[in-house]
């Protein structure tokens, strides 16, 4: 978990030179434990990044109010899976402060893909105003029933939080390498189409491919399934 915070000194060194509409880091894919570590480290000494004026500027521009909290609470009431109630609900987003941690980190990471194990995955991102004008996300509204929360900031940018339920898996052979397989497949989608995250349909397709890649490794005796290529 500690290694996940190694990027923060570099962020601190560039935070004064980065346009606040663009985070210093484009993509990060922590699991829930790494997310908590990142959030703690971002406010800790000696860097205290969440005390920086640019961090406050981004948080203020998101203008998250009662509508966002209401939609988030509705999302938290959803089952983590549409097919398996044993995985519980998404209440952890609120009860464990996961959504709050994500928002706090978005000034540093433009896109966060949070791996939640059996509870699926979360994609959170900021879409700057000029990109939002041409993004299909601009034509969408918050719909917790579809596992999506969208907030419109006072500067015209969008905050998108989308949950993707975990895919069904019959048998787990080996958990080593599943996260790497997930990220590798997701990066492959981004290489093929750098605007993958800007389109809800492309994002859904990419996340499904990443989840299937992780399942192949979970069902393999090897860290990365030989079936992946």
pLDDT computed for residue 26 by the predictor: 95
Q: For the chain, list residues with pLDDT below 50.
A: none
| Residue extents of the structural domains in the chain | 23-166, 167-229
pLDDT computed for residue 63 by the predictor: 93
Could you tell me the pTM of the whole model? 0.93
pLDDT computed for residue 176 by the predictor: 84
3-state secondary structure the chain: CHHHHCCHHHHHHHCCCCCCCCCCEEEECCEHHHHHHHHHHHHCCCCCHHHCHHHHHHHHHHCCCHHHHHHHHHHHCCECCCCCHHHCECCHHHHCCHHHHHHHHCCCEEEEEEECHHHCEEEEEEECHHHHCCCHHHHCCCEHHHCEEEEECCCCCEEEEEEECCCCCCCCCCCCCHHHHHHHHHHHHHHHCCCHHHCHHHHHHHHHHHHHHHHHHHCCCCCCCCCCC
């Amino acid at each position: 978990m500690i290694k996940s915070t190694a990027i923060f000194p570099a962020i601190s060194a560039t935070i004064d030179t980065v346009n606040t509409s663009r985070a210093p880091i484009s993509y990060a894919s922590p699991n829930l434990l790494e997310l908590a570590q990142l959030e703690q480290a971002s406010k800790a000494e000696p860097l205290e990044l969440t005390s920086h004026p640019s961090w406050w500027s981004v948080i203020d521009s998101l203008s998250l109010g009662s509508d966002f909290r209401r939609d988030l609470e509705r999302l938290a009431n959803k089952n983590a899976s549409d097919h398996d109630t044993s995985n519980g609900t998404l209440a952890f987003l609120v009860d464990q402060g996961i959504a709050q941690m994500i928002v706090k980190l978005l000034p540093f990471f433009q896109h966060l893909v949070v791996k939640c194990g059996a509870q699926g995955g979360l994609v959170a991102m900021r879409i700057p105003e000029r990109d939002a004008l041409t993004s299909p996300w601009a034509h969408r509204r918050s719909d917790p029933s579809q596992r999506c929360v969208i907030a419109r900031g006072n500067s015209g940018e969008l905050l998108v939080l989308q949950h993707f339920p975990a895919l069904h898996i019959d048998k787990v052979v080996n958990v080593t390498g599943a996260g790497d397989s997930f990220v590798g497949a997701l990066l492959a989608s981004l290489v093929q189409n750098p605007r993958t995250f800007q389109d809800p349909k492309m994002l859904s397709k990419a996340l499904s491919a990443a989840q299937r890649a992780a399942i192949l490794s979970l069902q393999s005796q090897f860290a990365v399934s030989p079936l992946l290529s």
